[in-house]
Structures are given as C-alpha cells and as structure tokens.
Structure 1
Amino acid sequence: MDRSTEIREFLRTRRARITPEQAGLAPDLRVRRVPGLRREEVAQLAGVSVDYYVRLERGRTQGVSEAVLEAVARALQLDDTERAHLFDLAQPTATGARRRRPLSPQRVRPVMYRALDSLSAPALIQGRRMDVLAANRLGYALFGDFQARPHRERNFARFVFLDEAAHRLYADWEKAAGDCVATLHLYAGRHPDDPQLTELIGELSLHSGTFRRMWADHDVLAHATGAKRLHHPVVGDLTLDYVVLAVEGDPDQTLVILTPEPASPSAEALAILASWTGTSTTGPYTPEETPRAV
C-alpha cells in the first residue's frame, strides 16, 4: 500500500466529517466548497502552521513529532483506534529508511487447537488480512467450512464480498462488509508493505463496487465485542454476542468466540446446529495441519 496516499486520504476523510461548530470554531459565513474543516482550520486547532499541516496531509511525515500527531488527533477528534492508525501511517517514509523485516509465516499452536476444541461455542482464530487460520466444528458449521477451501480463499473478507452465501448469512450484510473493510484498513496501517494484502485489496476492488466505495471512506475498526445477526441456512435466525481476544505471542492473531443469550431462541438454534454437526459440544477435532503456516 502507498503510505503517502493512505495518510492523505485518512486525514482528508477525518476532517471532512467535522463541522467548524463541532470543532468549537466561530461560525463561518463564507460559502464552503468542501464539507467539514479546511486544512487551515485543522492547523489552527492543532497549533501548527498551515504549511506544516499541508505537508503532513500530503504524506511527508519525516521528522514529525509525537506531540504534533497528538495535536492533530485531538483537532480531528480521533478515537483511540483512529489515533493509533494515524501513528502507524506516520512512520518514516524517507528514501533510504530502514526496510521493514518480512513478515514471518503465521502458525496456530497446538494448544490453541485444543482451546478451540474445548469450547462449546462457535470459535475461530483469525490472522493477518482476516485469514481464517482455524476454527472448531461449530465455528465451521456456522460460517462455512473454510478448511475445505483452497488456502488462498480461507479469508473472511473474500467470503463476505465474493461469496453469495455471505449475503444470505448476514442479516445486516452492509454492516458486516463495512466492518471487514475497516478492519483491513487498520491492518494496512500496521503492515503497508504486505504483498498479500495488496493482492487481496486489488482482488476485492476489482470484483466488488461496494468494497471500492467502502475502502474510499478510510474508516478503521478494532473489534473487541459486539453482536452479529445471522440467518443460518439450517437453523434460521441467530443473534450471537462475540468477543475478540488477542493470542499470546502473535499480535496479528485473534481468537473470536460467539455466544448466545442463555435460554434464548438463539441458544436453542445453536444447540440444534451443534447436534446437526454430530456433537453436543465441539468434541475432539483433528485439524488438517498442525500447525499451519500462513
């Protein structure tokens, strides 16, 4: 990914969403040709010169201080995730800067497979680029058997945007799609030189107009907790709460666990799905590869 383009578009879209009134500036009676704040207004709020801010928005971030980035984040009213994304994007970009080390292959440790199997709820492990690295039986039964797909296609973003089954599965597909894009943007800020990410973004942009539109919004999202509304082809409607947990030893791996409200229709439907898979819980499960590198 081109870091200069990313920081330019991120800052542009962030200032476009804030009105002068929201920023605490005096009302401007002049006709405004663009929505949101002007560059000079952001510079004023951040306490830097207009030229300095313009250089920053153009991606010329060499030598920019943390204090300036903090000031810009406050001026644009960024949340914690957006602030972290800004800092990721504003790493040195000068020619000759130290090249980042290649990413190591991701491996799911045997203990994590055992942890998945011990859970009576749907669960999966996601890696870089929203790759599905592993899941328990109930997780595959809920979202589809990623293990049966070619390695390249074991990716949640590809599933959401390129598989018609995802449109039928998600009761609010537009939200699920937006969350995918925002998660990929956050990852792109951390790993802009990942060639597999570039390939993924290119493929999704080529085949999905919705993806192109959402990618241009430059929203970012770090999943922690929330709810998913699904319409499963076997057991019907489900509302499941999810929690996303970091996997020790690999900051790009997360464990996602989904649970229903106790004694709810969703809990009953999930129990039927578990029975349909042949287990009342996830049961012993032997993965295709232990461990697998991605």
Structure 2
Amino acid sequence: MSEHLLPDPLVANLPKSVIIFGCGYIGTALAELLLASGVRVGALTRNLEKAARLRELGVHEVIIADLDSESWHDQVSPAYEAVVNCVSSAGGGIDGYRKSYLEGQRSILKWAKGRGIQSFLYTSSTSVYPQDGGVRVDETADTADAPLTGQVLCESERLLADAADAFGAWYVLRLAGIYGPRRHYLLDLLRSGESVIPGVGDYFLNLIHRDDVVTAICTALVHHSSVTSGIYNVSDDQPATKAELVAWLAQQLGQVPPRFDPEHVSPRLQRRGGRMPSRQISSAKLRETFGWSPQYEDFRAGYRGLLGMKKV
C-alpha cells in the first residue's frame, strides 16, 4: 500500500510517531502508509519473517516478542504519540484468542500508562454482534449474546475503555469482513474451478477493503483532539448476500455461478459455529463523526481493483 491514499490535510495532521502492535495484514499496510506520510513508526511482532519485512519497509523500531508478555516493555522507545493495537489471533482456539486479544491488550495498557500517549486505537470486529435476520446493526446493538470469540473482543474493548483516563483519546474500530490484495477467499474458490460452495448463500456479508481500514485508522488518529472517544463500526455500508457476491464474481470471470450446498459446511464455517449470522452493519457513525468515506464504496469497486478492471 505504497500509493498515497490520504488527503494532504490528513497527512499534515498525523501523529509524528506511532507504534503498531500486531503487524499482520492490516498492521503492515498501515505501517507502509504512515512511513510514506513521514511518520516515525515502531512495530511489535512475534514473527521473524514479518520483522524482516518491516525493517525492509523502513520501520524505525522493530521489536520481536509475544505481546502478552512484559519482556518487551523496556525495549520500546518511550516517545510515541499514538498506539495502534491491530493484533490478530495466535491460533489455538479460544485460549489463543485470550492470549492475543485480552492478555495482549492488558500488556499494552500496562506499558502505555503514564507515557503521555495522545491516542490509543484498537481494531476489534463486527463479529461481536450476535444479531441475525437481516436487521440493521449500529454501535448501540446489544453484544451480550456474542459468540465466545466475540466475548473476548468485547472484554478487550472494555479494558481500553476502563483505562480511558490514561490517554488523550481512545477508539475501538469494529471491522467488518476484510478483503483486499492476497485476501479474497471467494475469488480464489471461483478461480480454482469450484462448482459447489459449502453452506448457504442467502445471508448478508458485511465487507471493508484493507485500504479503507487503513484510512479509517489514520482518520481517527488525526482527529484525536476533536472527536469523542468511543466505538465505531467500519464497513462499506453496502451489505450484499454471499450468493450475490459469488454470482457477480462468476460473471466477471465468465463462469457459471457455482451452487451452494447447505448439506455441507466448510471447516472455515465450522470454526465459526456453522451458519453465519445475517445482519447489515452500519458505519454511519464513523462517516458522520469523522467525515470518513471508503475509497471502495462496495464489493464491486473493491473486486474490480483486484481483478485489474476499470470502473464502468
């Protein structure tokens, strides 16, 4: 993500220094954009290959450690204006979720206390919402019945909210399903010639392109002194059913759309409890509060870029 996607006024008001915890799909793209914008970037990762990649990109300080430990606390330079925690699961089921999201958050908060951090941003997930039946869901929706993984995320969000006095501002961005370069599961299925997709296709997918996640993060960091702390959904606000997305992709590839097989559930869906809930995630609060809007306004715009197509 080396191309400049931020308007000049945003670039001019970015924090001078940002440390990123968890440099996977989102964190690495964020680091690239911040570096291209002249920001001093630090990063923590547990992965040696990712660490090497971050150094190649020009990240100023790269720490290799497990986030949930405190071994890294004394290794990090003290002067960062902003913190971004976009860690992903280390695997290992619900225990892995707790290790990465919950204990990792505790560790960062302990390290950050008293360091004069201007803003702390945490990327959570819209998977915290248990709602079904195609309803519209915003940040006021109840999360009490969230799945186990969603409960861990909610607990991690609360840790940050409870530590609010330690920071100038804090933001939780609940991300919809992320797609983008090197992450396009359904497109890969069609390209492989699959004629049957496990499960059903009649539920809504809520999506957001990787690059739009990164610009949402940067927009929040810029407005830390003027925008109220809190929770914000990040989606393209254009939910579509899985069947609709698959049919459109098949059309672009010149293929017959594969059929869905409700009698067979993929391992991917089994890990998520079977059938996915169907709801429509609203990001109106983010748009209205920050003035943010996605570059890729719906899945068609995003996948056209991935397919090398021009918008028609």
Higher RCO (Cα < 8 Å, 6 or more apart): 1
Q: Normalized against structure 2, the TM-score is what?
A: 0.24
Q: Normalized against structure 1, the TM-score is what?
A: 0.25
Flag the structure with higher helix content.
1
Flag the structure with higher strand content.
2
